[in-house]
């Protein structure tokens, strides 16, 4: 086993999405000015942290009603901020975390779905009206038995803790730009039609790892049975309607493949821009354009050429005002309203 010290980059601000998945957000402009300066984070990963013993017990410690694992990092993070504390990432700290070589499952404590129970306990005590956004995405939480919350609610009352609305506006103020509680409308949706081939992108209802193809457009031929209804979502990714799969480009080369991959909302391989004026779909990371071969039905990425007819694509529904709003919102990232 090698346990030498290794420098790890500043990965970003710790946060979460509205399914309670742990996420990282880009550092703000102020945080980037000094690579060694500690920076505030709305939440922590939970596996390793340092806290004053006195302060930890003033906060009531961990919620003893949380079983096994799951939710404890959010419970303590919300509690720290809302009850007048601060949580920071320290880039120059030295912390070791040794994982098990082989996963050994914990015994179930007899409460069934303990993850849902844990999350509901956190939401009911700390998230106020925002809990509905979590419940909407995880319906099992609506009926989970949270148990007795008297002790936890007493901690919040005793310490005169602030509201979750305060937390979202003052501490997690960047959240809405990356993981909004209410998903904004699409920038475009419907069929994605190639103007040269006069055919549409189709997934064939295939799954992860499958490639796209060109087929006759369903709007013009009712006998076509493929999947051609797509969304250009707020995350600037392209996904089949009703499925959590996105167009993903992993190579930067001519005729690069486009495959379906689980949507992650972190842009990168799944980040696209649509230019209404020249009708090109650009993959931001590689600067390649969506292209096709009408004779073979292949769909791929190629170096952009403004005069290439095979790189011109038209959405069934395009909302240019929403695309403009996305650009304006980017200017506000990293700044409190």
Q: Is the pLDDT of residue 236 over 60?
A: yes
Query: 148 and 127, same structural domain?
Result: yes
Boundary residue ending a domain (178, 212, 245): 178
Query: 322 and 266, same structural domain?
Result: yes
Residues 18 and 179: their CA atoms lie apart, in Å, by 7
**Percent of the chain residues past pLDDT 70, beyond the cut:** 91
For residue 285, the enclosing domain spans 188-335
Number of structural domains (the chain) is 2
Query: 166 and 254, same structural domain?
Result: no
Query: 128 and 48, same structural domain?
Result: yes
Boundary residue ending a domain (156, 178, 200): 178
Confidence of residue 9 (pLDDT cuts 50, 70, 90): low
Query: 218 and 77, same structural domain?
Result: no
Query: 167 and 219, same structural domain?
Result: no
- CA 287, 320, 181, 228: dihedral to nearest 10 degrees? -70
49-99: per-residue pLDDT in tens?
889 999 999 999 999 999 888 899 999 999 999 999 999 988 888 777 676
Query: 328 and 204, same structural domain?
Result: yes
Query: 212 and 154, same structural domain?
Result: no
Query: Do the bridges between strand 188-194 and strand 199-202 make them parallel or antiparallel, or are there none, so unpaired?
Result: antiparallel
Residues 123 and 141: their CA atoms lie apart, in Å, by 9
Query: 202 and 246, same structural domain?
Result: yes
Q: Is the pLDDT of residue 118 over 70?
A: yes
Confidence of residue 195 (pLDDT cuts 50, 70, 90): very high
268-326: per-residue pLDDT in tens?
999 999 999 999 999 999 999 999 999 999 999 999 999 999 999 999 999 999 999 88
Q: What is the mean pLDDT of residues 228-236?
A: 96
Q: Is the pLDDT of residue 22 over 60?
A: yes
Boundary residue ending a domain (126, 149, 178): 178
Residues 153 and 53: their CA atoms lie apart, in Å, by 21
Query: 192 and 160, same structural domain?
Result: no
Query: 201 and 310, same structural domain?
Result: yes
Query: 271 and 128, same structural domain?
Result: no
**Average pLDDT over all residues of the chain:** 90
């Amino acid at each position: 086993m090698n346990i030498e010290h290794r420098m790890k980059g500043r990965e970003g601000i710790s946060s979460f999405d509205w399914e309670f998945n742990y996420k990282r957000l880009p550092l703000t402009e102020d945080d980037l000015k000094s690579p060694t300066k500690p920076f505030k984070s709305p939440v922590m990963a939970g596996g390793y942290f340092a806290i004053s013993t006195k302060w930890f017990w003033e906060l009531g410690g961990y919620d003893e009603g949380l079983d096994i694992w799951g939710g404890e990092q959010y419970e303590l993070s919300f509690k720290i901020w809302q009850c007048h504390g601060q949580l920071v990432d320290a880039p120059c700290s030295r912390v070791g975390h040794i994982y098990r070589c082989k996963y050994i499952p914990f015994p179930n404590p007899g409460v069934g779905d303990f993850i849902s129970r844990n999350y509901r306990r956190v939401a009911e005590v700390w998230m106020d009206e925002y809990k509905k956004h979590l419940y909407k995405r995880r319906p099992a939480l609506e009926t989970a038995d949270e148990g007795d919350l008297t002790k936890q609610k007493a901690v919040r009352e005793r310490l005169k803790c602030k509201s979750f609305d305060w937390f979202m506006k003052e501490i997690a103020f960047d959240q809405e730009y990356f993981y909004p509680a209410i998903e904004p409308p699409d920038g475009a949706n419907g069929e994605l039609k190639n103007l040269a081939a006069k055919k549409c992108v189709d997934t064939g209802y295939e799954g992860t790892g499958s490639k796209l193809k060109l087929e006759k457009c369903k709007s013009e031929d009712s006998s076509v049975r493929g999947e051609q209804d797509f969304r250009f979502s707020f995350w600037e990714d392209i996904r089949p309607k009703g499925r959590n799969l996105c167009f993903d480009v992993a190579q930067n080369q001519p005729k690069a493949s486009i495959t379906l991959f689980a949507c992650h909302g972190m842009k990168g391989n799944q980040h696209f821009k649509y230019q209404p004026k020249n009708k090109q779909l650009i993959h931001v990371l590689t600067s390649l354009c969506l292209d096709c071969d009408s004779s073979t039905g292949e769909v791929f990425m190629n170096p952009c050429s403004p005069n290439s007819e095979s790189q011109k694509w038209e959405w069934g529904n395009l909302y240019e005002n929403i695309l403009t709003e996305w650009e304006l919102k980017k200017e506000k990232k990293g700044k409190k309203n």
